[in-house]
Structure 1
Amino acid sequence: MGAGDLVTVAIAWLLRHPARLVPVLGSMKPERLTATVKALAISLDREQWFVTLEASEDGPVA
């Protein structure tokens, strides 16, 4: 997985946040805009979202 793919997944994760966050990317770089468009096609269910959170925290969510 390349750096662009990680950005895409990170944006997809933010878009699926239970608090309904609105990511402000603050970038007009073409690669960032491409990652954002690709993120819209990623569908994370609630379980996948929490698995990703736990992986980033290196343990279960309390």
Structure 2
Amino acid sequence: MDTAVLAPTGLNKQIFFIEANGDSVSIRTKGKSPMSKIDTGIVKYHFEIGAGKENFNWK
């Protein structure tokens, strides 16, 4: 979570939510911005770096 929160985003806003249930993790953004999909990708990448891809599955 720490690496995801520190991730730079396209508009420098942290408007995402990460939810975990066991080893399943999902991410969603709040609202619709022109950069939502790009920001989601950036945050997912940083989450994977911090958590280790082998330790969870995207839902």
TM-score range, shorter chain: 0.3 to 0.5
Q: Name the larger-Rg structure.
A: 1
More strand per residue: 1 or 2? 2
Higher relative contact order, structure no. (Cα contacts within 8 Å, ≥ 6 residues apart): 2
Under a length normalisation based on structure 1, what TM-score does the superposition of the two structures give?
0.33
Under a length normalisation based on structure 2, what TM-score does the superposition of the two structures give?
0.34
More helix per residue: 1 or 2? 1
